[in-house]
């Protein structure tokens, strides 16, 4: 039964008072489980550690990074933030950006996150510009899973979409992550009408021998990409129909899996996935919260505004207050996005919130 005085907090909210020698003792913090008014539980934190990116993807930062590359959360702030979330039942943390690996202290950040009690799984979403050089270090830092953005399977088209020439480095990064023994290697491919929808057969072939999951992501409308969205958006049906025709079968989602519906095929080592935010019921199983690179708690990718947690990241002693703030904020989470109503929140582009 939910605690009516603390909406959004799970059943095990209250700490048990302890007495030693008649004196009340501080109760050991118990793990609460973040849960919203709709009964959704949040075990997955997407933590942006910078909004800087070194690529110029057409659907996100067509003119490159325009912000002020400073003022991002420091390691101690990140450690305190993740510790609080972990005590609220979050056990999976994804490091995102911008491009998270542009941070010079990325490996230290990764180690600090994975060493946090309660964090069982750590992942990163990267454009893989330096993955081939550091996949082993990443694994040694405790990274379990790597998601790599790859929107085309030839260098020319890749450069046309990303504004970058490092296609071969990205492919080498994928294979390096596999060779390093990452628990999961996934590809994020934004489905773009007239730009990569003709490459579906090549993408399917890409996972024939590679034990990876390649997921097609429907282009999402954000504040800055209106015209682009109108030109390039392509529903996931095109992919789903082709998968069905070719004998791919859908597989069940795991507890902290992201929103992808994945398909397997007996002749392919890898899987194909589909992330379709416009599909009915997409938000029913939302299990993730986001924190921006400057400490703003965002309840939804397409929400409005964020709750500034940074003032509560200054000292370890603020942890209970920080947890209370996160629990209270969750009460404001909406039942879903309202993209169909043309409400895409105040997200100017995905680099600003880490996607």
Q: Which residues bind ligand SF4 (CB under 6 A)?
A: 259, 277, 282-283, 286, 300-302, 336-337
Closest approach of ligand SF4 to the CB of residue 283, in Å: 3
Nearer to ligand SF4, 321 or 331 (CB): 331
**DSSP assignment letter at 348:** S
Nearer to ligand SF4 by Cβ, of 259 and 273: the residue is 259
Identify which of 26, 45, 81 has the alpha carbon closest to the alpha carbon of residue 315.
81
Beta carbon of residue 42, minimum distance to ligand SF4 (angstroms, whole number): 9
Q: SS3 breakdown of the chain: % helix, strand, coil, rounded to 5?
A: 30, 20, 50
- CA 187 vs. chain centroid, Å, equals 13
> How far is 231 from 169, CA to CA, in rounded Å?
29
Query: Could you count the other beta carbons within 10 Å of the beta carbon of residue 194?
Result: 9
Pairing mode, strands 261-264 and 249-251: antiparallel
Task: Compute the distance between CA of residue 186 and CA of residue 94 in angstroms, rounded to an integer.
Answer: 13
Q: Report, in Å, the least distance between residue 46 CB and ligand SF4.
A: 9
Return the number of the residue (186 or 288) whose C-beta is nearest ligand SF4.
288
Min. distance of Cβ 217 from ligand SF4 in angstroms?
12
Pairwise CA distance, residues 73 & 250, whole Å: 39
Q: Based on CB atoms, which residue is closest to ligand SF4, 138 or 286?
A: 286
Q: What is the number of other CB atoms lying within 10 angstroms of the CB of residue 24?
A: 9
Q: Rg of the chain's alpha carbons, rounded to an integer?
A: 21
Please, what is the minimum distance in Å from the beta carbon of residue 309 to ligand SF4? 17
Closest by Cα among 150, 152, 158 to 177: 150
State which residue, 75 or 279, has the beta carbon closest to ligand SF4. Answer: 279
Tokens representing residue 19 in the block: 């007495």
What is the per-residue burial (b if ≥16 Cβ within 10 Å, else e) of 35-69? bbeeebbbbbbbbbbbbbbbbbbbbbbeeebeeee
Write the CA distances from 104 to 158, 189, 314, 343, integer angstroms: 26, 26, 22, 36
Q: Which is nearer to ligand SF4, 196 or 222 (CB)?
A: 222
Q: How far is the CB of 109 from ligand SF4 (least distance, A)?
A: 23
Give 34 or 300: the residue with its C-beta nearer to ligand SF4.
Answer: 300
Q: How far is the CB of 282 from ligand SF4 (least distance, A)?
A: 6
């Amino acid at each position: 039964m939910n605690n009516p005085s603390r909406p959004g907090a799970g059943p095990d909210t209250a700490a048990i008072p302890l007495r030693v020698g008649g004196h009340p003792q501080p109760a050991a913090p118990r793990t609460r489980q973040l849960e919203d008014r709709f009964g959704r539980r949040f075990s997955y934190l997407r933590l942006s550690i910078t909004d800087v990116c070194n690529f110029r993807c057409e659907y996100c930062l067509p003119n490159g990074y325009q912000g002020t590359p400073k003022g991002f959360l420091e390691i101690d702030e990140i450690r305190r933030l993740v510790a609080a979330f972990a005590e609220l039942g979050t056990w999976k943390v994804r490091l995102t950006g911008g491009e998270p690996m542009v941070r010079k202290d990325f490996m230290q950040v990764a180690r600090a996150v994975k060493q946090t009690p309660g964090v069982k799984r750590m992942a990163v979403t990267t454009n893989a510009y330096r993955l081939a050089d550091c996949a082993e270090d990443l694994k040694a830092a405790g990274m379990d899973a790597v998601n790599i953005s790859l929107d085309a399977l030839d260098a020319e088209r890749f450069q046309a979409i990303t504004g970058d020439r490092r296609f071969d480095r990205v492919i080498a990064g994928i294979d390096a992550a596999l060779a390093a023994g990452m628990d999961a290697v996934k590809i994020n491919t934004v489905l773009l009408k007239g730009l990569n929808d003709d490459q579906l057969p090549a993408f399917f072939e890409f996972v024939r021998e590679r034990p990876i999951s390649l997921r097609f992501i429907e282009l999402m409308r954000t504040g800055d990409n209106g015209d682009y969205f109108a030109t390039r958006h392509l529903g996931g049906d095109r992919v789903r129909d082709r998968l069905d025709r070719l004998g791919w079968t859908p597989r069940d989602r795991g507890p902290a899996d992201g929103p992808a519906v994945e398909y397997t095929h007996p002749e392919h080592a890898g899987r194909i996935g589909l992330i379709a935010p416009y599909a009915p019921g997409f938000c029913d199983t939302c299990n993730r919260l986001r924190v921006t690179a400057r400490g703003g708690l965002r309840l939804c990718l397409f929400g409005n505004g964020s709750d500034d947690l940074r003032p509560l990241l200054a000292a370890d002693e603020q942890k209970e207050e920080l947890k209370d703030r996160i629990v209270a904020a969750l009460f404001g989470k909406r039942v879903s996005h309202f993209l169909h109503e043309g409400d895409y929140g105040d997200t100017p582009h995905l680099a600003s919130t880490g996607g």
